[in-house]
Structure 1
Amino acid sequence: MPYPTTGPATWFVTGASLGLGLELVKQLLARGDNVAATTRSTARLTAALESIDTSRLLALPVNLADEQEVVDAVAAATDRFGAIDVVVNNAGYGLLGAVEEISDTEVRELFDVQVFGAWNLLRAVLPGMRVRRSGHVINVSSILGLTAFPGWGAYCAAKYALEGLTQSLAGEVADAEIRVNLIEPGYLRTDFLRASLRLPGRTADGYAAIREMTDAHLAMPGTQLGDPAKAATAIITVAETGTAPLHQILGSDSYGLATARVQSLTRDIETGRPLAVSTDITETAG
Protein backbone atom coordinates (compact mmCIF):
# COMPACT_ATOMS: atom_id res chain seq x y z
CA MET A 1 0.00 0.00 0.00
CA PRO A 2 1.56 3.35 -1.06
CA TYR A 3 0.59 5.25 2.11
CA PRO A 4 2.52 4.18 5.24
CA THR A 5 0.47 2.13 7.67
CA THR A 6 2.99 2.63 10.49
CA GLY A 7 5.06 5.66 11.42
CA PRO A 8 4.86 9.16 9.93
CA ALA A 9 4.40 9.68 6.22
CA THR A 10 6.69 11.99 4.28
CA TRP A 11 4.98 14.59 2.13
CA PHE A 12 6.48 16.94 -0.47
CA VAL A 13 4.19 19.96 -0.93
CA THR A 14 4.71 22.86 -3.34
CA GLY A 15 3.17 26.30 -2.97
CA ALA A 16 3.17 25.88 0.79
CA SER A 17 3.20 29.39 2.21
CA LEU A 18 -0.32 30.53 1.26
CA GLY A 19 -3.87 29.27 0.97
CA LEU A 20 -4.60 25.59 0.55
CA GLY A 21 -0.91 24.63 0.60
CA LEU A 22 -0.33 26.35 3.92
CA GLU A 23 -3.43 24.76 5.46
CA LEU A 24 -2.28 21.34 4.27
CA VAL A 25 1.18 21.82 5.79
CA LYS A 26 -0.35 22.89 9.11
CA GLN A 27 -2.52 19.79 9.30
CA LEU A 28 0.27 17.43 8.27
CA LEU A 29 2.62 18.80 10.93
CA ALA A 30 -0.14 18.60 13.55
CA ARG A 31 -0.56 14.92 12.65
CA GLY A 32 3.16 14.28 13.15
CA ASP A 33 3.97 13.69 9.48
CA ASN A 34 7.22 14.79 7.83
CA VAL A 35 6.81 17.70 5.40
CA ALA A 36 9.18 19.06 2.79
CA ALA A 37 7.52 22.32 1.75
CA THR A 38 8.60 24.48 -1.16
CA THR A 39 7.96 28.19 -1.35
CA ARG A 40 9.42 31.29 -2.92
CA SER A 41 9.60 32.76 0.61
CA THR A 42 10.65 30.53 3.51
CA ALA A 43 10.37 33.54 5.82
CA ARG A 44 6.68 33.88 4.98
CA LEU A 45 6.13 30.16 5.53
CA THR A 46 7.90 30.00 8.88
CA ALA A 47 6.08 33.14 10.06
CA ALA A 48 2.75 31.52 9.20
CA LEU A 49 3.75 28.43 11.21
CA GLU A 50 5.15 30.22 14.27
CA SER A 51 2.67 28.62 16.68
CA ILE A 52 3.18 25.08 15.32
CA ASP A 53 5.86 22.49 16.07
CA THR A 54 8.05 22.59 12.96
CA SER A 55 10.58 19.96 13.99
CA ARG A 56 9.32 17.74 11.15
CA LEU A 57 9.34 20.54 8.57
CA LEU A 58 11.95 21.10 5.88
CA ALA A 59 11.25 24.50 4.30
CA LEU A 60 12.82 24.75 0.86
CA PRO A 61 13.19 27.95 -1.19
CA VAL A 62 12.63 26.65 -4.72
CA ASN A 63 11.98 28.13 -8.13
CA LEU A 64 9.95 25.28 -9.60
CA ALA A 65 10.79 26.37 -13.14
CA ASP A 66 14.47 25.63 -12.42
CA GLU A 67 14.84 21.87 -12.85
CA GLN A 68 18.12 21.67 -10.95
CA GLU A 69 16.65 23.49 -7.96
CA VAL A 70 13.80 20.97 -7.93
CA VAL A 71 16.19 18.02 -8.16
CA ASP A 72 18.24 19.45 -5.29
CA ALA A 73 15.11 19.99 -3.19
CA VAL A 74 13.99 16.38 -3.66
CA ALA A 75 17.49 15.19 -2.74
CA ALA A 76 17.43 17.35 0.41
CA ALA A 77 14.03 15.98 1.40
CA THR A 78 15.19 12.41 0.82
CA ASP A 79 18.36 12.98 2.85
CA ARG A 80 16.33 14.44 5.72
CA PHE A 81 13.36 12.09 5.83
CA GLY A 82 14.07 9.11 3.59
CA ALA A 83 11.59 8.07 0.93
CA ILE A 84 8.93 10.54 -0.19
CA ASP A 85 5.48 8.98 0.15
CA VAL A 86 3.16 11.69 -1.19
CA VAL A 87 3.85 14.53 -3.62
CA VAL A 88 1.36 17.40 -3.83
CA ASN A 89 1.82 19.72 -6.80
CA ASN A 90 -0.10 22.69 -5.44
CA ALA A 91 1.88 25.76 -6.56
CA GLY A 92 0.12 28.16 -8.86
CA TYR A 93 -1.49 31.54 -9.32
CA GLY A 94 -4.33 33.10 -11.29
CA LEU A 95 -3.99 35.20 -14.42
CA LEU A 96 -7.19 37.01 -15.32
CA GLY A 97 -7.62 38.68 -18.70
CA ALA A 98 -8.81 38.12 -22.26
CA VAL A 99 -6.77 35.82 -24.48
CA GLU A 100 -5.86 38.80 -26.65
CA GLU A 101 -4.52 40.71 -23.65
CA ILE A 102 -2.17 38.10 -22.19
CA SER A 103 1.39 38.56 -23.39
CA ASP A 104 3.71 35.76 -24.43
CA THR A 105 5.87 36.38 -21.37
CA GLU A 106 2.90 36.33 -18.99
CA VAL A 107 1.49 33.04 -20.24
CA ARG A 108 4.91 31.37 -20.33
CA GLU A 109 5.57 32.39 -16.72
CA LEU A 110 2.22 30.89 -15.75
CA PHE A 111 3.00 27.60 -17.49
CA ASP A 112 6.47 27.56 -15.91
CA VAL A 113 4.87 27.27 -12.48
CA GLN A 114 1.70 25.30 -13.07
CA VAL A 115 2.84 22.89 -15.79
CA PHE A 116 6.60 22.74 -16.19
CA GLY A 117 7.23 23.15 -12.47
CA ALA A 118 4.96 20.20 -11.74
CA TRP A 119 6.65 18.23 -14.51
CA ASN A 120 10.10 18.99 -13.06
CA LEU A 121 9.00 17.60 -9.70
CA LEU A 122 7.47 14.49 -11.26
CA ARG A 123 10.70 13.70 -13.12
CA ALA A 124 12.62 14.08 -9.86
CA VAL A 125 10.44 11.86 -7.64
CA LEU A 126 9.12 9.14 -9.93
CA PRO A 127 12.33 7.11 -10.33
CA GLY A 128 12.51 6.49 -6.58
CA MET A 129 8.81 5.70 -6.36
CA ARG A 130 9.07 3.19 -9.20
CA VAL A 131 12.02 1.42 -7.57
CA ARG A 132 10.10 1.16 -4.28
CA ARG A 133 6.85 0.37 -6.11
CA SER A 134 5.18 2.81 -3.77
CA GLY A 135 4.10 6.42 -3.78
CA HIS A 136 1.26 8.82 -4.43
CA VAL A 137 1.09 11.85 -6.73
CA ILE A 138 -1.64 14.41 -6.05
CA ASN A 139 -1.87 17.25 -8.56
CA VAL A 140 -4.01 20.19 -7.51
CA SER A 141 -5.97 21.37 -10.54
CA SER A 142 -9.21 23.35 -10.41
CA ILE A 143 -12.77 23.17 -11.62
CA LEU A 144 -11.29 25.34 -14.38
CA GLY A 145 -9.36 22.27 -15.48
CA LEU A 146 -12.73 20.78 -16.46
CA THR A 147 -14.66 23.82 -17.67
CA ALA A 148 -13.81 27.36 -18.74
CA PHE A 149 -14.91 30.94 -18.13
CA PRO A 150 -14.24 34.01 -20.28
CA GLY A 151 -11.22 35.87 -18.94
CA TRP A 152 -9.63 32.74 -17.48
CA GLY A 153 -8.18 31.41 -20.73
CA ALA A 154 -4.53 31.32 -19.65
CA TYR A 155 -5.32 29.77 -16.27
CA CYS A 156 -7.66 27.21 -17.84
CA ALA A 157 -5.06 26.35 -20.49
CA ALA A 158 -2.49 25.61 -17.77
CA LYS A 159 -4.93 23.54 -15.71
CA TYR A 160 -6.11 21.63 -18.80
CA ALA A 161 -2.47 20.81 -19.51
CA LEU A 162 -1.99 19.61 -15.94
CA GLU A 163 -5.10 17.45 -16.27
CA GLY A 164 -3.87 15.87 -19.49
CA LEU A 165 -0.42 14.99 -18.22
CA THR A 166 -1.89 13.66 -14.95
CA GLN A 167 -4.34 11.36 -16.72
CA SER A 168 -1.52 9.99 -18.88
CA LEU A 169 0.74 9.62 -15.85
CA ALA A 170 -1.89 7.60 -13.98
CA GLY A 171 -1.88 4.98 -16.69
CA GLU A 172 1.91 4.96 -17.02
CA VAL A 173 2.69 4.26 -13.36
CA ALA A 174 -0.25 2.07 -12.37
CA ASP A 175 1.81 -1.10 -12.82
CA ALA A 176 4.42 0.34 -10.44
CA GLU A 177 1.71 0.66 -7.76
CA ILE A 178 1.97 4.45 -7.73
CA ARG A 179 -1.35 6.18 -7.16
CA VAL A 180 -2.27 9.39 -8.98
CA ASN A 181 -5.11 11.83 -8.30
CA LEU A 182 -6.32 15.19 -9.52
CA ILE A 183 -7.89 17.56 -6.98
CA GLU A 184 -10.41 19.93 -8.58
CA PRO A 185 -11.61 22.54 -6.05
CA GLY A 186 -14.11 25.29 -6.59
CA TYR A 187 -13.72 28.67 -4.91
CA LEU A 188 -11.94 28.34 -1.55
CA ARG A 189 -12.05 31.07 1.09
CA THR A 190 -8.33 31.83 0.95
CA ASP A 191 -6.24 34.86 -0.06
CA PHE A 192 -5.82 33.45 -3.59
CA LEU A 193 -7.84 36.28 -5.16
CA ARG A 194 -5.76 38.85 -3.25
CA ALA A 195 -2.25 37.46 -3.08
CA SER A 196 -2.16 35.04 -6.03
CA LEU A 197 -4.15 36.74 -8.77
CA ARG A 198 -2.35 38.63 -11.52
CA LEU A 199 -3.73 40.92 -14.20
CA PRO A 200 -2.21 41.45 -17.64
CA GLY A 201 0.12 44.35 -18.22
CA ARG A 202 -2.19 45.78 -20.86
CA THR A 203 -5.89 45.74 -21.59
CA ALA A 204 -7.76 45.99 -24.88
CA ASP A 205 -10.99 47.74 -25.81
CA GLY A 206 -14.10 45.66 -26.29
CA TYR A 207 -13.91 43.51 -23.15
CA ALA A 208 -16.21 45.35 -20.78
CA ALA A 209 -17.70 42.06 -19.52
CA ILE A 210 -14.25 40.82 -18.51
CA ARG A 211 -13.53 44.07 -16.68
CA GLU A 212 -16.78 43.58 -14.75
CA MET A 213 -15.92 39.97 -14.00
CA THR A 214 -12.44 40.99 -12.83
CA ASP A 215 -13.92 43.56 -10.44
CA ALA A 216 -16.34 40.95 -9.11
CA HIS A 217 -13.48 38.52 -8.39
CA LEU A 218 -11.40 41.19 -6.70
CA ALA A 219 -14.38 41.89 -4.42
CA MET A 220 -15.05 38.20 -3.74
CA PRO A 221 -12.54 37.40 -0.92
CA GLY A 222 -14.36 36.43 2.25
CA THR A 223 -17.45 35.19 0.42
CA GLN A 224 -16.14 32.01 -1.25
CA LEU A 225 -18.06 28.84 -0.46
CA GLY A 226 -15.16 26.42 0.08
CA ASP A 227 -13.47 25.83 3.43
CA PRO A 228 -9.69 25.48 2.89
CA ALA A 229 -9.27 23.50 6.14
CA LYS A 230 -11.83 20.96 4.97
CA ALA A 231 -10.22 20.86 1.53
CA ALA A 232 -6.82 20.11 3.10
CA THR A 233 -8.37 17.37 5.21
CA ALA A 234 -9.93 15.94 2.06
CA ILE A 235 -6.51 15.77 0.37
CA ILE A 236 -5.15 13.86 3.36
CA THR A 237 -8.12 11.50 3.11
CA VAL A 238 -7.38 10.93 -0.58
CA ALA A 239 -3.83 9.91 0.31
CA GLU A 240 -4.75 7.79 3.32
CA THR A 241 -7.58 5.81 1.78
CA GLY A 242 -6.32 5.40 -1.75
CA THR A 243 -9.92 4.99 -2.92
CA ALA A 244 -10.65 8.38 -4.49
CA PRO A 245 -11.38 8.61 -8.22
CA LEU A 246 -8.77 10.07 -10.54
CA HIS A 247 -10.84 13.26 -10.66
CA GLN A 248 -11.67 14.25 -7.08
CA ILE A 249 -13.89 17.32 -7.11
CA LEU A 250 -14.05 19.48 -3.96
CA GLY A 251 -16.95 21.82 -3.22
CA SER A 252 -20.60 21.83 -4.18
CA ASP A 253 -19.91 24.72 -6.58
CA SER A 254 -17.27 22.62 -8.32
CA TYR A 255 -19.63 19.65 -8.42
CA GLY A 256 -22.38 21.72 -10.05
CA LEU A 257 -20.06 23.20 -12.66
CA ALA A 258 -18.54 19.80 -13.49
CA THR A 259 -21.98 18.25 -13.90
CA ALA A 260 -23.06 21.06 -16.22
CA ARG A 261 -19.88 20.62 -18.26
CA VAL A 262 -20.45 16.89 -18.70
CA GLN A 263 -24.00 17.55 -19.89
CA SER A 264 -22.84 20.27 -22.31
CA LEU A 265 -20.07 18.06 -23.71
CA THR A 266 -22.49 15.17 -24.16
CA ARG A 267 -24.84 17.42 -26.12
CA ASP A 268 -21.98 18.56 -28.35
CA ILE A 269 -20.88 14.99 -29.02
CA GLU A 270 -24.36 13.82 -29.92
CA THR A 271 -25.14 16.90 -32.01
CA GLY A 272 -21.94 16.44 -33.95
CA ARG A 273 -22.30 12.68 -34.39
CA PRO A 274 -23.63 12.65 -38.00
CA LEU A 275 -20.69 14.70 -39.28
CA ALA A 276 -18.23 12.78 -37.08
CA VAL A 277 -19.11 9.35 -38.48
CA SER A 278 -19.27 10.69 -42.03
CA THR A 279 -15.48 11.04 -42.16
CA ASP A 280 -14.77 7.27 -41.85
CA ILE A 281 -13.31 5.46 -44.87
CA THR A 282 -16.04 3.47 -46.53
CA GLU A 283 -14.77 0.12 -47.73
CA THR A 284 -16.28 -1.02 -50.98
CA ALA A 285 -17.13 -4.61 -51.53
CA GLY A 286 -14.63 -6.42 -53.80
Structure 2
Amino acid sequence: MAFPTDRPAIWLVTGTSRGLGLHLVRRLLERGDSVTATTRSSDRLLAALGDEVDASRLLPLTVDLRDEAQVAAAVRKTTEHFGGLDVVVNNAGYGFLAAVEETSDRDVRDMLDLQVVGVWNVLRAALPVLRERRSGHIVNVSSVLGLTAVPGWALYCAGKFALEGISEALAAEVADFGIDVTIVEPGYFRTDFLTTDSLALPADTTEHYPAIRAMVDDHLKLQGGQLGDPAKGARAIIDRVVAGEGPLRRLLGSDSHAYTTAKVRALRDNLDATATTAPATDHPTTG
Protein backbone atom coordinates (compact mmCIF):
# COMPACT_ATOMS: atom_id res chain seq x y z
CA MET A 1 0.00 0.00 0.00
CA ALA A 2 1.00 3.62 -0.37
CA PHE A 3 1.14 4.30 3.35
CA PRO A 4 0.82 8.03 4.12
CA THR A 5 4.12 9.59 5.07
CA ASP A 6 3.03 13.24 5.09
CA ARG A 7 0.46 12.83 7.86
CA PRO A 8 -0.60 10.39 10.58
CA ALA A 9 -2.58 7.44 9.25
CA ILE A 10 -6.29 6.99 9.86
CA TRP A 11 -7.25 3.59 11.26
CA LEU A 12 -10.57 1.87 11.90
CA VAL A 13 -10.21 -0.96 14.43
CA THR A 14 -13.00 -3.25 15.62
CA GLY A 15 -13.14 -5.06 18.96
CA THR A 16 -11.15 -2.50 20.95
CA SER A 17 -12.36 -2.51 24.55
CA ARG A 18 -9.87 -5.18 25.63
CA GLY A 19 -7.14 -7.55 24.50
CA LEU A 20 -5.14 -7.06 21.35
CA GLY A 21 -7.53 -4.41 20.03
CA LEU A 22 -7.10 -2.24 23.11
CA HIS A 23 -3.32 -2.50 22.93
CA LEU A 24 -3.46 -1.62 19.24
CA VAL A 25 -5.54 1.52 19.84
CA ARG A 26 -3.25 2.62 22.67
CA ARG A 27 -0.13 2.19 20.55
CA LEU A 28 -1.63 3.95 17.52
CA LEU A 29 -2.59 6.98 19.59
CA GLU A 30 0.90 7.06 21.08
CA ARG A 31 2.28 7.12 17.54
CA GLY A 32 0.14 10.11 16.61
CA ASP A 33 -2.27 8.24 14.34
CA SER A 34 -6.03 8.83 14.31
CA VAL A 35 -8.29 5.94 15.29
CA THR A 36 -11.94 5.07 15.00
CA ALA A 37 -12.36 2.37 17.65
CA THR A 38 -15.53 0.31 17.48
CA THR A 39 -16.68 -1.73 20.42
CA ARG A 40 -19.81 -3.00 22.06
CA SER A 41 -19.18 -0.49 24.85
CA SER A 42 -17.43 2.83 24.26
CA ASP A 43 -17.56 3.50 28.01
CA ARG A 44 -15.54 0.36 28.67
CA LEU A 45 -12.97 1.38 26.06
CA LEU A 46 -12.58 4.89 27.44
CA ALA A 47 -12.27 3.55 30.98
CA ALA A 48 -9.55 1.15 29.84
CA LEU A 49 -7.62 3.90 28.06
CA GLY A 50 -7.93 6.34 30.95
CA ASP A 51 -6.52 9.84 30.65
CA GLU A 52 -3.35 8.74 28.91
CA VAL A 53 -4.52 9.34 25.32
CA ASP A 54 -5.21 12.35 23.14
CA ALA A 55 -8.97 12.17 22.80
CA SER A 56 -8.92 14.51 19.79
CA ARG A 57 -7.47 11.68 17.68
CA LEU A 58 -9.85 9.01 18.96
CA LEU A 59 -13.38 8.42 17.68
CA PRO A 60 -14.95 5.75 19.90
CA LEU A 61 -18.11 4.23 18.47
CA THR A 62 -20.48 1.67 19.93
CA VAL A 63 -21.25 -0.54 16.94
CA ASP A 64 -23.00 -3.86 16.46
CA LEU A 65 -20.93 -5.29 13.62
CA ARG A 66 -23.78 -7.60 12.66
CA ASP A 67 -25.83 -4.52 11.71
CA GLU A 68 -24.86 -3.41 8.20
CA ALA A 69 -26.32 0.07 8.66
CA GLN A 70 -24.38 0.67 11.89
CA VAL A 71 -21.15 -0.43 10.24
CA ALA A 72 -21.70 1.78 7.20
CA ALA A 73 -22.41 4.71 9.52
CA ALA A 74 -19.14 4.04 11.39
CA VAL A 75 -17.13 4.21 8.18
CA ARG A 76 -18.95 7.36 7.09
CA LYS A 77 -18.32 9.02 10.48
CA THR A 78 -14.64 8.09 10.20
CA THR A 79 -14.19 9.80 6.84
CA GLU A 80 -16.19 12.83 7.95
CA HIS A 81 -14.37 13.18 11.27
CA PHE A 82 -10.79 12.49 10.15
CA GLY A 83 -11.00 13.25 6.44
CA GLY A 84 -10.28 9.76 5.14
CA LEU A 85 -9.44 6.16 5.94
CA ASP A 86 -6.17 4.29 5.47
CA VAL A 87 -6.21 1.07 7.47
CA VAL A 88 -8.99 -1.28 8.58
CA VAL A 89 -8.38 -3.89 11.28
CA ASN A 90 -11.06 -6.56 11.73
CA ASN A 91 -10.25 -7.70 15.23
CA ALA A 92 -13.58 -8.28 17.01
CA GLY A 93 -14.25 -11.81 18.19
CA TYR A 94 -14.61 -14.18 21.12
CA GLY A 95 -13.80 -17.78 21.95
CA PHE A 96 -16.18 -20.72 22.19
CA LEU A 97 -15.16 -24.04 23.65
CA ALA A 98 -17.45 -27.06 23.24
CA ALA A 99 -17.88 -30.29 21.34
CA VAL A 100 -19.63 -30.08 17.97
CA GLU A 101 -22.56 -32.05 19.37
CA GLU A 102 -22.95 -29.58 22.23
CA THR A 103 -22.98 -26.50 20.00
CA SER A 104 -26.49 -25.15 19.48
CA ASP A 105 -27.94 -23.52 16.40
CA ARG A 106 -27.94 -20.19 18.26
CA ASP A 107 -24.28 -20.63 19.19
CA VAL A 108 -23.36 -21.19 15.54
CA ARG A 109 -25.34 -18.23 14.26
CA ASP A 110 -24.00 -15.87 16.92
CA MET A 111 -20.41 -16.80 16.16
CA LEU A 112 -20.65 -16.66 12.37
CA ASP A 113 -22.75 -13.49 12.44
CA LEU A 114 -19.83 -11.74 14.13
CA GLN A 115 -16.80 -13.54 12.69
CA VAL A 116 -18.03 -13.75 9.09
CA VAL A 117 -21.04 -11.48 8.49
CA GLY A 118 -19.60 -8.74 10.69
CA VAL A 119 -16.29 -8.75 8.84
CA TRP A 120 -18.11 -8.75 5.51
CA ASN A 121 -20.13 -5.72 6.63
CA VAL A 122 -16.93 -3.84 7.45
CA LEU A 123 -15.32 -4.79 4.15
CA ARG A 124 -18.33 -3.77 2.07
CA ALA A 125 -18.43 -0.39 3.80
CA ALA A 126 -14.68 0.34 3.74
CA LEU A 127 -13.58 -0.98 0.36
CA PRO A 128 -15.22 1.75 -1.77
CA VAL A 129 -13.32 4.38 0.26
CA LEU A 130 -9.97 2.61 -0.09
CA ARG A 131 -10.56 1.72 -3.73
CA GLU A 132 -11.33 5.32 -4.65
CA ARG A 133 -8.11 6.44 -2.97
CA ARG A 134 -6.27 3.52 -4.62
CA SER A 135 -4.42 2.82 -1.40
CA GLY A 136 -5.07 1.18 1.94
CA HIS A 137 -4.44 -1.82 4.10
CA ILE A 138 -6.88 -4.36 5.50
CA VAL A 139 -5.77 -6.45 8.47
CA ASN A 140 -7.96 -9.42 9.34
CA VAL A 141 -7.14 -10.87 12.74
CA SER A 142 -7.59 -14.62 12.47
CA SER A 143 -5.89 -17.16 14.74
CA VAL A 144 -3.61 -20.15 14.56
CA LEU A 145 -6.97 -21.93 14.82
CA GLY A 146 -7.76 -20.52 11.41
CA LEU A 147 -5.01 -22.75 10.07
CA THR A 148 -5.39 -25.87 12.19
CA ALA A 149 -8.26 -27.32 14.20
CA VAL A 150 -8.29 -28.99 17.60
CA PRO A 151 -11.10 -30.73 19.51
CA GLY A 152 -13.42 -28.40 21.36
CA TRP A 153 -12.73 -25.39 19.16
CA ALA A 154 -14.79 -26.41 16.12
CA LEU A 155 -17.08 -23.38 16.09
CA TYR A 156 -14.28 -20.88 16.66
CA CYS A 157 -12.24 -22.61 13.96
CA ALA A 158 -15.21 -22.47 11.59
CA GLY A 159 -15.30 -18.69 11.86
CA LYS A 160 -11.55 -18.27 11.53
CA PHE A 161 -11.22 -20.77 8.66
CA ALA A 162 -13.90 -18.74 6.86
CA LEU A 163 -11.98 -15.53 7.56
CA GLU A 164 -8.85 -17.07 6.05
CA GLY A 165 -10.72 -17.90 2.84
CA ILE A 166 -12.32 -14.47 2.61
CA SER A 167 -8.94 -12.84 3.11
CA GLU A 168 -7.12 -14.89 0.49
CA ALA A 169 -9.74 -14.12 -2.14
CA LEU A 170 -9.91 -10.46 -1.11
CA ALA A 171 -6.15 -10.01 -1.39
CA ALA A 172 -6.24 -11.04 -5.04
CA GLU A 173 -9.34 -8.97 -5.79
CA VAL A 174 -8.00 -5.65 -4.47
CA ALA A 175 -4.31 -5.85 -5.33
CA ASP A 176 -4.76 -3.79 -8.50
CA PHE A 177 -6.31 -0.99 -6.44
CA GLY A 178 -3.22 -0.54 -4.28
CA ILE A 179 -4.89 -2.19 -1.30
CA ASP A 180 -2.84 -4.63 0.75
CA VAL A 181 -4.33 -7.44 2.85
CA THR A 182 -2.72 -9.13 5.84
CA ILE A 183 -4.04 -12.09 7.82
CA VAL A 184 -2.79 -12.07 11.42
CA GLU A 185 -2.64 -15.46 13.16
CA PRO A 186 -1.89 -15.14 16.87
CA GLY A 187 -1.26 -18.01 19.19
CA TYR A 188 -2.23 -17.73 22.87
CA PHE A 189 -1.78 -14.14 24.02
CA ARG A 190 -1.87 -12.85 27.58
CA THR A 191 -5.21 -11.09 27.23
CA ASP A 192 -8.54 -11.91 28.88
CA PHE A 193 -9.52 -14.18 25.97
CA LEU A 194 -9.55 -17.20 28.30
CA THR A 195 -11.67 -15.64 31.02
CA THR A 196 -15.33 -16.42 31.56
CA ASP A 197 -16.12 -12.88 30.32
CA SER A 198 -14.72 -13.69 26.88
CA LEU A 199 -14.73 -17.46 26.48
CA ALA A 200 -18.26 -18.67 25.72
CA LEU A 201 -19.35 -22.15 26.80
CA PRO A 202 -22.33 -24.25 25.74
CA ALA A 203 -25.60 -24.02 27.64
CA ASP A 204 -25.85 -27.81 27.73
CA THR A 205 -23.06 -30.37 27.91
CA THR A 206 -22.99 -34.14 27.77
CA GLU A 207 -21.04 -36.76 29.69
CA HIS A 208 -19.56 -38.12 26.47
CA TYR A 209 -16.76 -35.54 26.13
CA PRO A 210 -14.80 -35.55 29.40
CA ALA A 211 -11.62 -34.50 27.57
CA ILE A 212 -13.29 -31.27 26.49
CA ARG A 213 -14.52 -30.57 30.03
CA ALA A 214 -10.93 -31.00 31.20
CA MET A 215 -9.79 -28.71 28.37
CA VAL A 216 -12.13 -25.98 29.59
CA ASP A 217 -10.65 -26.19 33.09
CA ASP A 218 -7.10 -26.18 31.72
CA HIS A 219 -7.76 -23.14 29.54
CA LEU A 220 -9.29 -21.15 32.38
CA LYS A 221 -6.26 -21.99 34.52
CA LEU A 222 -3.97 -20.88 31.68
CA GLN A 223 -5.32 -17.32 31.90
CA GLY A 224 -2.48 -14.97 32.77
CA GLY A 225 0.18 -17.46 31.74
CA GLN A 226 -0.19 -17.33 27.96
CA LEU A 227 2.96 -17.05 25.90
CA GLY A 228 2.14 -14.01 23.79
CA ASP A 229 2.64 -10.37 24.79
CA PRO A 230 -0.29 -8.30 23.39
CA ALA A 231 1.72 -5.07 23.38
CA LYS A 232 4.32 -6.73 21.17
CA GLY A 233 1.54 -8.18 19.04
CA ALA A 234 0.09 -4.72 18.47
CA ARG A 235 3.49 -3.38 17.46
CA ALA A 236 3.99 -6.28 15.05
CA ILE A 237 0.70 -5.47 13.30
CA ILE A 238 1.62 -1.79 13.01
CA ASP A 239 5.09 -2.63 11.72
CA ARG A 240 3.61 -4.85 9.00
CA VAL A 241 1.27 -2.09 7.86
CA VAL A 242 3.94 0.60 7.93
CA ALA A 243 6.37 -1.61 5.99
CA GLY A 244 3.77 -1.96 3.24
CA GLU A 245 5.32 -5.19 2.03
CA GLY A 246 5.37 -8.68 3.43
CA PRO A 247 3.73 -12.09 3.27
CA LEU A 248 -0.03 -12.45 3.26
CA ARG A 249 0.08 -14.18 6.63
CA ARG A 250 1.68 -12.81 9.79
CA LEU A 251 1.99 -15.48 12.46
CA LEU A 252 2.36 -14.12 15.98
CA GLY A 253 3.99 -16.30 18.60
CA SER A 254 6.25 -19.33 18.55
CA ASP A 255 3.27 -21.48 19.53
CA SER A 256 1.38 -20.30 16.44
CA HIS A 257 4.39 -21.12 14.28
CA ALA A 258 4.78 -24.58 15.83
CA TYR A 259 1.10 -25.51 15.39
CA THR A 260 1.16 -24.29 11.79
CA THR A 261 4.37 -26.19 11.05
CA ALA A 262 2.72 -29.39 12.29
CA LYS A 263 -0.33 -28.71 10.09
CA VAL A 264 1.84 -28.17 7.01
CA ARG A 265 3.64 -31.45 7.65
CA ALA A 266 0.32 -33.26 8.03
CA LEU A 267 -0.91 -31.77 4.75
CA ARG A 268 2.31 -32.82 3.02
CA ASP A 269 1.91 -36.36 4.31
CA ASN A 270 -1.70 -36.37 3.06
CA LEU A 271 -0.64 -35.09 -0.35
CA ASP A 272 2.05 -37.73 -0.64
CA ALA A 273 -0.37 -40.47 0.42
CA THR A 274 -2.90 -39.52 -2.25
CA ALA A 275 -0.52 -38.60 -5.07
CA THR A 276 -1.24 -41.79 -7.01
CA THR A 277 -4.93 -42.16 -6.20
CA ALA A 278 -6.07 -38.55 -6.84
CA PRO A 279 -5.87 -38.80 -10.67
CA ALA A 280 -8.14 -41.84 -10.64
CA THR A 281 -11.24 -39.62 -10.85
CA ASP A 282 -9.99 -37.59 -13.83
CA HIS A 283 -11.99 -37.86 -17.04
CA PRO A 284 -10.11 -40.11 -19.45
CA THR A 285 -8.21 -38.32 -22.19
CA THR A 286 -9.95 -38.60 -25.54
CA GLY A 287 -8.52 -38.50 -29.02
> In the TM superposition, what is the alpha-carbon distance from 1:2 to its structure 2 partner?
2.6
Describe the SS at the equivalent of 1:105.
helix
Mapping 1:34-45, distance limit 5 Å: 34-45=34-45
Counterpart of 1:260 in structure 2 is 262
In structure 1, give the amino acid aligned to 2:167.
T
Unaligned runs of 5+ in 1: none
> In the TM superposition, what is the alpha-carbon distance from 1:275 to its structure 2 partner?
1.8
Unaligned runs of 5+ in 2: none
Mapping 1:130-145, distance limit 5 Å: 130-145=131-146
In structure 1, give the amino acid aligned to 2:247.
P
Counterpart of 2:22 in structure 1 is 22
Counterpart of 1:57 in structure 2 is 58
Describe the SS at the equivalent of 2:15.
coil
Deviates more, 1:45-54 or 1:131-140: 45-54
Counterpart of 2:70 in structure 1 is 69
Mapping 1:50-199, distance limit 5 Å: 50-53=50-53, 54-194=55-195, 195-199=197-201
> In the TM superposition, what is the alpha-carbon distance from 1:243 to its structure 2 partner?
1.8
> In the TM superposition, what is the alpha-carbon distance from 1:244 to its structure 2 partner?
2.1
| Alpha carbons 1:2, 1:179 under 8 Å: kept | no
Describe the SS at the equivalent of 2:189.
coil
| CA distance in 2: counterparts of 1:142 and 1:41, whole angstroms | 24
Describe the SS at the equivalent of 1:230.
helix
| Alpha carbons 1:30, 1:52 under 8 Å: kept | no
> In the TM superposition, what is the alpha-carbon distance from 1:112 to its structure 2 partner?
1.0
| Alpha carbons 1:67, 1:120 under 8 Å: kept | yes
Describe the SS at the equivalent of 1:139.
strand
| CA distance in 2: counterparts of 1:101 and 1:42, whole angstroms | 33
| Alpha carbons 1:143, 1:258 under 8 Å: kept | yes
- 1:4 matched to 2:25? The reply is no
Counterpart of 1:223 in structure 2 is 225
Counterpart of 1:270 in structure 2 is 272
> In the TM superposition, what is the alpha-carbon distance from 1:142 to its structure 2 partner?
0.2
Describe the SS at the equivalent of 1:225.
coil
Per-residue Cα deviation, 1:183-230 (whole angstroms, up to 9, x for no partner): 000000011111311001111221011111111001111110000000
Counterpart of 2:32 in structure 1 is 32
Identity %: 56
Deviates more, 1:10-19 or 1:191-200: 191-200
Counterpart of 2:235 in structure 1 is 233
| CA distance in 1: counterparts of 2:184 and 2:285, whole angstroms | 45
| Alpha carbons 1:163, 1:182 under 8 Å: kept | yes
> In the TM superposition, what is the alpha-carbon distance from 1:176 to its structure 2 partner?
0.5
Counterpart of 2:253 in structure 1 is 251
- The aligned length equals 285
| CA distance in 1: counterparts of 2:10 and 2:129, whole angstroms | 14
| CA distance in 2: counterparts of 1:73 and 1:225, whole angstroms | 34
Query: Could you state the TM-score of these two structures normalised by the residue count of structure 2?
Result: 0.98
| Alpha carbons 1:2, 1:85 under 8 Å: kept | no
> In the TM superposition, what is the alpha-carbon distance from 1:284 to its structure 2 partner?
4.3
In structure 2, give the amino acid aligned to 1:233.
R
Describe the SS at the equivalent of 1:87.
strand
